[in-house]
């Protein structure tokens, strides 16, 4: 990121913000890490309240923030810890519905003195009694938040319908690749990774996400039954961990599916470099990190046409009806047999990626909101 001068005017104390993160969403965690680096570079003091596990993975302190461990819970002890961390802040910025709810509880009667910005990265869905609880949380957050930022137009509309007094579309950038995109390096890396994964001489499909029900792995596994008939049969590699691991592994073994669960990985960029296709079955990934990384890496993407994905990728991916395993299987088989279409998707993806906001643009938008909501700070 391009260095810039301090955001605090001469003689004024620096703006102090607290970023509240639940720690369960890769997209919001990556965003907070990037936002922290940009804010600190502009002279803003940042405290990130997140579980220690999130700090270990995303290294907020390495971006210049102070880290305060706060559990992903609304119990009194966690809320008290968050309240203490927010004491003296000029502004609190929470990421995700549950983090925003905890921030509202922590601020309590100080909401008029301490503006609360809530960024909604994804639409949370629930059924039955939990759906009623979800609506209560949404109304509580929209009532408490000074501004709600939504990462898609659908999320902005939903925030308004839930009672938000001020809801705006947020610019959210995917940080640049962790290593230079050297074609020679990619060519050398590709066969090595494919061999390690067991995909030598066969197509490699990559999916990334927690092994939880809402991620749509059942759709991929249903589709994988059809891929067994292809020659050679593609290998689906799923990176991620979660409560369904044992059940999914049993299904792989019982149905002899061409699927490998490889656990949580920190080399997703390398996996994508080796892949023929990236797969995204989940419905509720408004600004999917995998979708963005795939298009940046020029890997054709097949995705369920769920919340916000079309707004993100445009025509640069194969979108199929959400939850339709047969359509998913057909799209994958069709792309594996159509190199020209894959080349077109790679080119379209690279163009689409250039339309997304940059990290500098994201930080600039957030800072403009902060400036709007905070009063000049007293002279030192």
Q: What is the tens place of the pLDDT at every residue in 181-235?
A: 555 666 778 899 999 999 999 999 999 988 988 788 999 999 999 998 899 999 9
Name every residue whose Cβ is closer than 8 Å to that of residue 189 and which is 6 or more positions away in sequence.
Answer: 270, 273, 274
Asked, for residue 365, whether it belongs to a domain, the answer is yes
Same domain, 192 and 274: yes
Angle of CA points 312, 351, 234, to nearest 5°? 75
| pLDDT at residue 326, as a whole number | 96
Same domain, 242 and 290: yes
Instruction: Name the band, by pLDDT with cuts 50, 70 and 90, for residue 1.
Output: very low
pLDDT tops 90 at residue 113: no
**Burial tier of 246 (Cβ tally within 10 Å: 0-12, 13-18, 19+):** exposed
**Average pLDDT over every residue of 326-346:** 96
Task: Give the long-range contacts of residues 136-143, CB within 8 A, separation 24 or more.
Answer: 137/97, 137/98, 137/101, 138/97, 138/162, 138/163, 139/163, 140/101, 140/104, 141/97, 141/100, 141/101, 141/104, 142/118, 142/167
Same domain, 69 and 138: yes
Q: Is residue 212 helix, strand or coil? A: coil
Asked, for residue 283, whether it belongs to a domain, the answer is yes
Q: Are 96 and 262 in contact (CB under 8 A)?
A: no
Name every residue whose Cβ is closer than 8 Å to that of residue 343 and which is 6 or more positions away in sequence.
Answer: none
Asked, for residue 8, whether it belongs to a domain, the answer is no
Same domain, 187 and 289: yes
Same domain, 158 and 237: no
| pLDDT at residue 295, as a whole number | 94
Cα distance between residue 185 and residue 342, in whole Å: 21
* Least confident stretch, 156-160, 181-185, 252-256: 181-185
39: which 2 tokens?
A: 């804010």
User: Which residues make beta-bridge pairs with 168?
Assistant: 149
**Average pLDDT over every residue of 44-52:** 96
Same domain, 220 and 287: yes
Q: Are strands 301-304 and 318-320 parallel, antiparallel or unpaired?
A: parallel
Same domain, 34 and 132: yes
Same domain, 366 and 343: no
Q: Is residue 217 helix, strand or coil? A: helix
Mean pLDDT, all residues of the chain? 88
Instruction: Name the band, by pLDDT with cuts 50, 70 and 90, for residue 67.
Output: very high
User: Which residues make beta-bridge pairs with 328?
Assistant: none
Asked, for residue 6, whether it belongs to a domain, the answer is no
Domain total of the chain:
2
pTM > 0.85: no
**Average pLDDT over every residue of 149-154:** 89
More confident residue, 273 or 186: 273
Asked, for residue 379, whether it belongs to a domain, the answer is no
More confident residue, 351 or 9: 351
Asked, for residue 3, whether it belongs to a domain, the answer is no
Instruction: With residue 17 as reference, give the H or E element that holds it.
Output: strand 16-21
- Please state the length of the chain: 380
Asked, for residue 380, whether it belongs to a domain, the answer is no
Same domain, 205 and 139: no
Same domain, 261 and 316: yes
Name every residue whose Cβ is closer than 8 Å to that of residue 16 and which is 6 or more positions away in sequence.
Answer: 44, 45, 47, 88, 89, 90, 91
Enclosing domain of residue 150: 16-173+358-373
Asked, for residue 341, whether it belongs to a domain, the answer is yes
| pLDDT at residue 132, as a whole number | 84
Same domain, 59 and 197: no
Q: Could you give the residue ranges of the DSSP H alpha helices within 217-338? A: 217-227, 245-255, 268-274, 289-296, 309-313, 325-336
Q: Are 65 and 48 in contact (CB under 8 A)?
A: yes
Which CATH number belongs to the domain containing residue 312 in this structure? 3.40.50.2000
Same domain, 363 and 347: no
């Amino acid at each position: 990121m391009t260095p810039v001068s301090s955001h605090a005017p001469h003689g004024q104390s620096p703006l102090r913000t607290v970023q509240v993160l639940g720690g369960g969403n890769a997209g919001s965690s990556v965003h907070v890490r990037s936002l922290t680096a940009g804010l600190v570079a502009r002279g803003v003091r940042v405290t990130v309240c997140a579980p220690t596990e999130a700090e270990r993975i995303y290294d907020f302190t390495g971006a210049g923030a102070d880290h305060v461990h706060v559990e992903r819970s609304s119990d009194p002890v966690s809320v008290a810890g968050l309240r203490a961390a927010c004491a003296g802040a000029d502004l609190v910025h929470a990421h995700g519905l549950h983090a925003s709810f905890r921030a509202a509880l922590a601020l309590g009667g100080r909401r008029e003195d301490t503006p609360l910005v809530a960024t909604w990265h994804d639409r949370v869905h629930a059924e039955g009694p939990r759906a009623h609880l979800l609506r209560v949380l949404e109304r509580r957050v929209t009532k408490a938040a000074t501004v709600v930022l939504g990462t898609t137009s659908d999320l902005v509309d939903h925030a308004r319908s839930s009672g938000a007094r001020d809801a705006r579309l947020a610019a959210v950038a995917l940080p640049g690749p962790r290593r230079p995109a050297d074609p020679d390096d990619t060519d050398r890396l590709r066969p090595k990774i494919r061999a390690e994964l067991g995909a030598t001489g066969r197509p490699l499909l990559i999916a990334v996400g927690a092994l939880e029900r809402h991620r749509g792995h059942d759709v991929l596994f249903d589709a994988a039954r059809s891929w067994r008939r292809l020659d050679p049969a593609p290998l689906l590699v799923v990176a991620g961990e979660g409560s369904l691991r044992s059940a999914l592994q049993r299904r792989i073994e019982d149905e002899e599916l061409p699927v490998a669960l490889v656990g949580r990985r920190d080399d997703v960029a390398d996996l994508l470099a080796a892949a023929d296709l990236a797969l995204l079955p989940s419905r509720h990934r408004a600004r999917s990190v995998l979708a963005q990384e795939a298009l940046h890496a020029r890997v054709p993407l097949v995705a369920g046409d769920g919340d916000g994905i079309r707004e993100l990728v445009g025509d640069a991916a194969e979108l199929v009806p959400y939850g339709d395993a047969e359509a998913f299987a057909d799209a994958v088989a069709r792309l594996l047999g159509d190199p020209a279409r894959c080349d077109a998707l790679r080119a379209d993806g690279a163009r689409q990626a250039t339309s997304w906001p940059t990290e500098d643009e994201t930080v600039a938008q957030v800072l403009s909101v902060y400036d709007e909501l905070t009063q000049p700070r007293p002279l030192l």
